[in-house]
Structure 1
């Protein structure tokens, strides 16, 4: 049986996140997709020829300098900063999805399948090349994070001696591998997903842990933390919409951005 939680544990887990009002999982994923689209539009090849390129000039604190930028570059930078909201939401629901899935193996397989499907659109949309080996798309990162969480939970739920040490070793190995293979977000993304996993059944602790999980993007005016109030509104329900939309949207929007670059 390829599930991590028993029916009783799953019910308890969902109860911890239940609230009468708020936002469903699919609603939050849609919000993340919108921010991700603007992020990729600002950083990809679609609008670069028109001068819409983010500013990478930073001050001594590592914070981007916005003053004095041309209007087009300023707008692109703002879109990039707003795009920081997307990844924490996807990390949060990666953890939720792995724990609540009836078959975590199929979930990881889906992530890997669409990671390979999306790689060429990712390279075209962001770098204008069919193959760009120095940066792999975020679905590889999410698949690695899912596999890491599954492995850690199985180790921690087992009866081996020094199981915490084995779980920590697995975590460190996955983080290093993500960095070596140049997955989007690298070791920082694996760390963020594992930190969310460690507090996954508590809403307030998730908010606090989110502050530490995304410190690596805090210098970008802290816009990454705008994701936390959104995650706090999660009501524990899936909501309307099919699961395949989010898998298909990722390569589709990247391919669309590349075609836009050809037109303009």
Structure 2
């Protein structure tokens, strides 16, 4: 897949992930009894994990990539805390994922283990499971079929914890991820960065108006 086609596919997937995430967050805060909204939302993270893997392939500077993710993690933390809970938002998980991929590229297993330790004990969203998802997508990005089995296995392991059981629906994200999209679409790379804190803050205001 050439770079142009890859970016077009990535933008289609980014749109799917953003819509899925929005549905998930609406379900979480506004309609908590409508679990179908949360099930739809399970598509978002695997797609963002794939997006991170592709980003690590094409970015010119992994250190700047990591810093940008941490910057938006800080920007997003207050909206995330007031709408969800006082724990690290998804940007922290994505930044940790890039760090693990960098450790893999530089053959530094000790660094990958250190990042995994920090992600787990800091309560970062999706923990070690999320890091492994991003790493598998990075390793097998040229042959996604090889990533399917390990991703299924780590997802089933993650779902063994009762409160994470509904993450099983995230496996449906493999369908759009593996699909060879041929749709011309261009989304500015900063759309998601700003959409994330903005939509959470908007949902918080809506929630306050309904209570």
TM-score by length of structure 2 reads: 0.87
Deviation string for 1:60-117 (max 9, x for gaps)?
xxxxxxxxxxxxx2x2x11111111100000011011011112222211111110000
1:185 pairs with 2:131? no
Report if the CA contact (8 A) 1:40-1:126 is conserved.
no
Among 144, 149, 158, the residue aligned to 1:208: 149
Match of 1:30 in 2: 15
Q: What's the counterpart of residue 138 of structure 2? A: 197
- Give the Å deviation of 1:217: 3.8
Aligned to 2:202: 256
Specify which of 87, 90, 100 is matched with residue 58 of structure 2: 100
Query: How many equivalent pairs are there?
Result: 204
- Pick which of 99-108 and 217-226 moved more: 217-226
Larger relative helix fraction: 2
Q: 1:152, CA displacement in angstroms?
A: 1.5
Provide closer, same or farther for how the CA distance between residues 35 and 146 of structure 1 changes in structure 2, counting only shifts above 3 A. Answer: same
1:153 pairs with one of 94, 105, 113: 105
Larger Rg: 1
Which residue of structure 1 lines up, in the alignment, with residue 93 of structure 2?
A: 141
Q: Give the direction of change, closer, same or farther, for the CA distance of 1:212–1:122 in structure 2 (3 Å limit).
A: same
RMSD: 2.4
- TM-superposed CA distance for 1:214, in Å, is 2.3
How far apart in 2 are the matches of 1:243 and 1:32? 13
Q: Structure 1: how far apart are the matches of 2:147 and 2:184?
A: 19
- Range with greater deviation from structure 2 (96-105 or 109-118): 96-105
- 1:187 CA drift (Å): 1.7
CA distance in 2, matches of 1:104, 1:259: 35
Q: For 1:235-258, what per-residue CA distance to the aligned partner results, in whole angstroms no more than 9, with x for missing partners?
A: 599941100101001101100110
TM-score for both structures, normalised by structure 1: 0.70
